[in-house]
Structures are given as C-alpha cells and as structure tokens.
Chains A and B, each alone.
Chain A
Amino acid sequence: MLYREAGQFKTNYVADQAIFPIRQDRIGMAIVLLFAWVIIPAFGSDYFLEIIMINFLFFSLAAIGLNILTGYTGLISLGTGGFMAVGAVASYKLAVIFPDLSIILVFLISGLIAAAVGIVFGLPSLRIKGFYLAVATLAAQFFLDWLFLRVDWFTNSSTAIEGVPKTVFGYLVTGPNAEPFAKYYVALAFVSVFALLAKNLVRSAIGRAWMAIRDMDIAAEIIGIRPLPTKLLAFAISAFYSGVAGSLMLFLFYDSAEPDLFDINLSFKVLFMVIIGGLGSIAGSFMGAAFIVMIPIILTNAPDLLGLPISSDLAKHLEFMIFGALIVFFLIVEPNGLARLWQIAKEKLRLWPFPY
C-alpha cells in the first residue's frame, strides 16, 4: 500500500489530534504490536527473547527517559546510569524488605524513588546548562556509584544485588528460574504502557513547555512558563523512566548484578542511543536502542556466518569504532538521528513517484 496522506481529509480536530493521524502509520503500529505481543513470543527462541528482546526493551525505556530530558527539554545528562542504579537497588531492597509487595508495585515505587533523586540532582539546572550541567549530572553519577558501592546497607552487605523471584497471577516472572517468555511479557507490558504515556506527554502542554525551554528559554518565560518546575518535572519523569529501566534490567535480564554495572559507561550507552535514534523522538528512542543492542550481536555472529572468523577482541574494537563514527556522523550530519532519516524516507515516499 502506498504511503499517502492524500484523500485522508480530517473533518475535525479530534482526528487530527490522534496519536497517529495517518492511516498507514496506524497500520504499521498495529503490525509492530502484533509482532511484539504475539509473533515474537510464539516463535522466538529463548536466546532471542532474553539476549535480544528484553535487552532491547529495558534500554528503550531508559532511552525514552533520557530523550525526555535531553531531546525534548534540551538538558544534557550523563547521570542515566546512576538513576538506573537507584531503580535497581530500590527494587532489590523493596522486594527483600516487603516480600508480599507485588513486583509491579516494586518497579513503580522504585521509579518514584529514582524520580525523587532525579529532582535533587536536577536542581542545578535552573542556573547552569550545556556543558556545565553535563558535568553536574556526571557528579551525580559518580556520587551514586560510590554510594551503592560503599554503603553496605544498599546491597545487604553482599557484593551483588539480586533479582528476587516474584510471581504475577501465580506465575513466576523474575529471578533465574523464570521462563524467558514470562520475563519478556513483563518487560513488554511496561515498555508498551510507558512509551504510550511518554508519547502523550510530549504532544501535550507539558511537552510543548519542555520544547519551548529547549528552543528558547527566554521566550518561554515571556509566555509564562516557569523554568524551574518545568525542568524539574523533566528530570523527575526522566529519572522515573531510568529507574524503572534499571529495575527491569536487574530483575528481568541480569538476575544478579554488582552495582558498578550501572557506571558511567551505561550512561554513555543510553546517551548514544538517544543521539543515534534521534533527539526529541519517542520512536527514535526505540530505533537507537535496537541499533546499539544489535551491533555487538551482529559483530560477534556475522563474521562466523560469513566464514570470516575475527577474534572477540577485534569485534570489541570494531564495535567502538563503529559507535564512534556513527556518533560523529549523526552529531554533524543528522542531529535528529535515525528517526529523522525514517521521516525523510516517508516524506519521499509520500511524493513518490512524482518528486515535485
């Protein structure tokens, strides 16, 4: 079917305000959901569900969170790893201290705790921006790393925090013995719901306030936006998403993790996802996460399939080089990332075959 808007006249604003006003986009979305909810769990191997899909899902959530802060509000953060650590540690502690608390609530409350931490570390953003704010969030990252490594209470005096086994409707969904597809459904449910909520936020008044601050904070004030609450809300919501992503990462992917897993490298990884996927795009957050999750997997498997064995060291180096080159490319050539390239492709398609 051709990708066309023509002939789809919107007779009222309700239709135009719909989440996907163009019919082909709605069909595309339905297909994506069909794959995610039915086809992948039905036919995907355990390896595919765990190593690729769950990995991709919690990173998507983290990328959406960072995109709200950096892409939509224009506040650069290198503290994502720290906020994810807060979520992971909080959910571990909650699950241990309150054994009867539903795992869904554990994840949500962990997100709220991360949001509170995000607000505290977001306070400097009233006065500083750009490079200096990035350094301030970096300080948050280092502080949180240090806190969870040094203060035994957070890890119950062990070296690692663990994904405590929990059930939903009597079905084991977390911990090492949970089945991959059960874990997958939990991750998918969280990501589906929170991606939708994020999309709604960015197309509402608060999203416009964020973008106004990003594009020109002076003019934003003139129309009555108060910078501090607006920025702090972005920090809170962003940290909430990071926190929940951290919880999912621990409970659905690693099962057991040392706190230094959530270090500055993780912050950079999520930042790369946002840059490559597209600043200021929810769909781009997914694209960036997919891209960065897939590249190492492709690099370790493709050469074998092609009969060109390369050492795992070389694969690792290649991975860094490819990331580096892509970051430079996207920063210079297409700051709006894969999402923008996708949009351009759609615009071309809309005009095809008569480009003028």
Chain B
Amino acid sequence: MTAATLERPVPPVQSEGPAPAARRNFSEELLKVEDISLSFGGVKALSNISFDIRKHEIRAIIGPNGAGKSSMLNVINGFYHPQEGTITYKGNARHQMRPHEAAKTGIARTFQNIALFKGMSTLDNIMTGRLLRMRRNFLWQALYWGPALKEELEHREKVEAIIDFLEIQAIRKTPVGRLPYGLQKRVELGRALAMEPELLLLDEPMAGMNVEEKEDMCRFILDVNDEFGTTIALIEHDMGVVMDISDRVVVLDYGRLLADGTPSEVRANKQVIDAYLGVSHD
C-alpha cells in the first residue's frame, strides 16, 4: 500500500478532474451495522443496511433526499430503534443503542436542523458538551468553590481551546439564537467536539453555506480527523466535498444500500450515477 499517503489536499470545493485514489488505509473496525431495518408505520426508512466504519477514517453517507441517511445516524446514536439488525460498536454487539449510552461511549453528533440550546450563550452551549466529564455533585456546584470551581475552570479551558480552534472567540457570550445559520452550525460542531468523541456523526454540516463557509468547515473536519484522530461519519449533498474529504462512501437510495467503496469507485458505479449523480441534487 505504498500509494496510500497521509497527505491530503486542502479541499478546493467542487474540484473537477481525475478522481483521487483512496488516500489512506484503515483496518481496525470501530462500528459495524448489520442488516438494519427500520420502518415508521408503513414507511420503510431503511432495509437491510450493512456497512462498517473504521477507526480514524472519514466515512461519507450520501443519497438523494429521503434516502434514509439521517435515519441511519439516528440508529447509530440510539435515537431511532431499528426493528431488525445488530450494531457492533467497539466490539460490543447490540440490537439498539440508547442516546445516553452512545454519548457515554464516545459518540457525538450534529443535526441537520441544528439542535442548539437557543437560550444559552455559545460558551454555555459548548460547555454542555463537557457535562459527562464533570464529576462534582450539585452541592459542590452550589458552593462554586474549591474543587467545584477548579473543575469548572479546567473545563472552561478545554472549551476555550475549541472556541479558538473554530475561530468563534467573538461570539463567545452571544446567545446562539441570535447567530446566523453558518455560525450556529459551527457552534454545534463545537459542542460535539467538547465531548472529545471517538466517533463524530455530522448530518449535513455544510448545508446552506456559501463556498467560503464550506471551505472553513472542510478544514475543521479534516483538522479534527488529523489532529485528534477522530473517526467521522458525515452526510453531505455536495459531491465535490464528498470526493475531496472522504475516505470511503456509502450510498443509500430509498432506504437500500446502493454502493459502498472509495469515492472513485462510487463515482464510477453505474447504479449510483443513475440514482443519484444523474438527478440534480440540492
């Protein structure tokens, strides 16, 4: 595997030209879903989906609207409970996940429709990501003194590092409800990062952004993956972005798995072209 390189191009969004080969190779499996089926009443959102996510990779999930991409992430972090199938995460197989347990075992996510705490400041929103790591009970917190204050300050420092990383120092104290869309997406990423996750699920992190904002977001995602070794599963409609930053791609269509492979393999797949690339996507 000498061709594989860890060096990655800075993502020129929407780049054309020869499809890049798989840049890196990963072997260790972090998460595997097998034969997942999920339906809502009569609507089959997912049928018999199987794929895996390997440690440290960036895994893209693509597909037309309503394909079941968000549902897939919801299954992974225990938000939806599939009727059938198994989820194996870090070697433990189970029928379904629970949100709280997923959070505890290192799965963080962002939402397609932004799920921030609107009444709280940027700083407080990101601080909530540290909650699971804060140990002092409420009596100590009521005193806000000694070990409780020390703990608060330690976590504040971690959060400030994330704020610096995402370049959102200026909006630290602003209630997030007043921020523009693009910044809210960034704060939501910050909250997920504050959990120091092993697996980060991003549901359309660049939707509704202009080219510049997308470039920033790509840079953050690549940096997180590189610097912290975080495994990332990401849903994205922008094919340029997907081709540039992902290591492997899963394609869903009408709740079925259409293809699974490297960006170039997927791009060359006839079925994918028919189902997805051929039709306009927005």
Taking a contact as CB atoms under 8 Å apart, the answer to whether B138 and A233 are in contact is yes
Taking a contact as CB atoms under 8 Å apart, the answer to whether B119 and A280 are in contact is yes
A212 to B120, CA, bound (A): 8
- In the complex, which residues of chain B have a beta carbon less than 8 angstroms from the beta carbon of A218? 79, 115
Q: Mark A209-222, 1 if CB is under 8 A from B, else 0.
A: 10110111011111
Q: Mark A193-226, 1 if CB is under 8 A from B, else 0.
A: 0000110110111111101101110111111111
Taking a contact as CB atoms under 8 Å apart, the answer to whether A209 and B128 are in contact is yes
A169 to B141, CA, bound (A): 30
Taking a contact as CB atoms under 8 Å apart, the answer to whether A212 and B142 are in contact is no
Taking a contact as CB atoms under 8 Å apart, the answer to whether B143 and A208 are in contact is no
Q: Which of B119-154 contact A (CB under 8 A)?
A: 119-120, 124, 127-132, 134, 136, 138, 141-144, 148-149, 152-153
Q: Does A13 lie at the interface of the complex (its beta carbon under 8 Å from any beta carbon of B)? A: yes
Taking a contact as CB atoms under 8 Å apart, the answer to whether A219 and B117 are in contact is yes
A197 to B195, CA, bound (A): 27
- In the complex, which residues of chain A have a beta carbon less than 8 angstroms from the beta carbon of B136? 205
Q: Does B178 lie at the interface of the complex (its beta carbon under 8 Å from any beta carbon of A)? A: no
Taking a contact as CB atoms under 8 Å apart, the answer to whether B129 and A223 are in contact is yes
- In the complex, which residues of chain A have a beta carbon less than 8 angstroms from the beta carbon of B254? none
Contact count band on A: 20 to 34
Which stretch, B22-30, B85-93, B98-106, B205-213, touches the partner chain A? B98-106
Find the B residue at minimum CB distance from A222.
B99
Of the candidates A14, A19, A198, A208, the one whose C-beta lies within 8 Å of that of B127 is: A208
Q: Mark B139-179, 1 if CB is under 8 A from A, else 0.
A: 00111100011001100110010000000000000000000
Taking a contact as CB atoms under 8 Å apart, the answer to whether A17 and B103 are in contact is no
Q: Does B118 lie at the interface of the complex (its beta carbon under 8 Å from any beta carbon of A)? A: yes
A211 to B119, CA, bound (A): 8
Q: Mark A323-350, 1 if CB is under 8 A from B, else 0.
A: 0000000000000000000000000000
Taking a contact as CB atoms under 8 Å apart, the answer to whether A222 and B117 are in contact is no
**In whole Å, how far is B265's beta carbon from the nearest beta carbon of chain A?**
32
- With contacts A13-B156, A17-B152 known, is A206 near B132, CB below 8 A? no
Taking a contact as CB atoms under 8 Å apart, the answer to whether B115 and A222 are in contact is yes
Taking a contact as CB atoms under 8 Å apart, the answer to whether A222 and B131 are in contact is no
The majority secondary structure among interface residues of chain B is helix
Taking a contact as CB atoms under 8 Å apart, the answer to whether A209 and B131 are in contact is yes
Find the B residue at minimum CB distance from A237.
B138
- In the complex, which residues of chain B have a beta carbon less than 8 angstroms from the beta carbon of A280? 119
Taking a contact as CB atoms under 8 Å apart, the answer to whether B195 and A223 are in contact is yes
**In whole Å, how far is A214's beta carbon from the nearest beta carbon of chain B?**
7
Taking a contact as CB atoms under 8 Å apart, the answer to whether A211 and B142 are in contact is no
Taking a contact as CB atoms under 8 Å apart, the answer to whether B153 and A224 are in contact is no
- With contacts A204-B152, A208-B120, A216-B117 known, is A226 near B142, CB below 8 A? no
Number of A-B contacts (CB under 8 A): 105
Q: Does B111 lie at the interface of the complex (its beta carbon under 8 Å from any beta carbon of A)? A: yes
Taking a contact as CB atoms under 8 Å apart, the answer to whether B108 and A201 are in contact is no
Of the candidates B100, B117, B138, the one whose C-beta lies within 8 Å of that of A211 is: B117
Q: Does B191 lie at the interface of the complex (its beta carbon under 8 Å from any beta carbon of A)? A: yes
Taking a contact as CB atoms under 8 Å apart, the answer to whether A197 and B119 are in contact is no
Q: Does B116 lie at the interface of the complex (its beta carbon under 8 Å from any beta carbon of A)? A: yes
- With contacts A13-B153, A221-B100, A224-B132 known, is A204 near B120, CB below 8 A? no
A212 to B128, CA, bound (A): 8
Q: Mark A254-291, 1 if CB is under 8 A from B, else 0.
A: 00000000000000000000000000100000000000
**In whole Å, how far is B98's beta carbon from the nearest beta carbon of chain A?**
9
Q: Does B231 lie at the interface of the complex (its beta carbon under 8 Å from any beta carbon of A)? A: no
Taking a contact as CB atoms under 8 Å apart, the answer to whether A221 and B131 are in contact is no
A204 to B142, CA, bound (A): 8
Taking a contact as CB atoms under 8 Å apart, the answer to whether B143 and A215 are in contact is no
Taking a contact as CB atoms under 8 Å apart, the answer to whether A200 and B117 are in contact is no
Taking a contact as CB atoms under 8 Å apart, the answer to whether A226 and B100 are in contact is yes
Q: Does B37 lie at the interface of the complex (its beta carbon under 8 Å from any beta carbon of A)? A: no
Q: Which of B44-98 contact A (CB under 8 A)?
A: 77, 79
Count chain A CB atoms within 10 A of each CB in B134, B138, B195 and give the residue with the most. Answer: B138
A200 to B77, CA, bound (A): 33
Q: Does B214 lie at the interface of the complex (its beta carbon under 8 Å from any beta carbon of A)? A: no
Taking a contact as CB atoms under 8 Å apart, the answer to whether A215 and B160 are in contact is no
30 contacts between A and B (CB under 8 A): A13-B153, A14-B153, A197-B143, A198-B142, A200-B142, A200-B144, A201-B141, A205-B127, A206-B141, A208-B127, A208-B128, A209-B128, A212-B117, A214-B117, A215-B117, A215-B119, A216-B118, A218-B79, A220-B117, A220-B128, A222-B77, A222-B79, A222-B99, A222-B109, A223-B108, A223-B129, A223-B132, A224-B195, A225-B100, A237-B138
Residues of B within 8 A of A (CB): 77, 79, 99-100, 102-104, 108-109, 111, 115-120, 124, 127-132, 134, 136, 138, 141-144, 148-149, 152-153, 156-157, 160, 191, 195
Known: A212-B120, A225-B100; 11 extra A-B contacts, CB below 8 A, are A13-B160, A200-B143, A201-B141, A204-B138, A204-B148, A205-B130, A212-B117, A218-B115, A220-B117, A224-B103, A233-B138
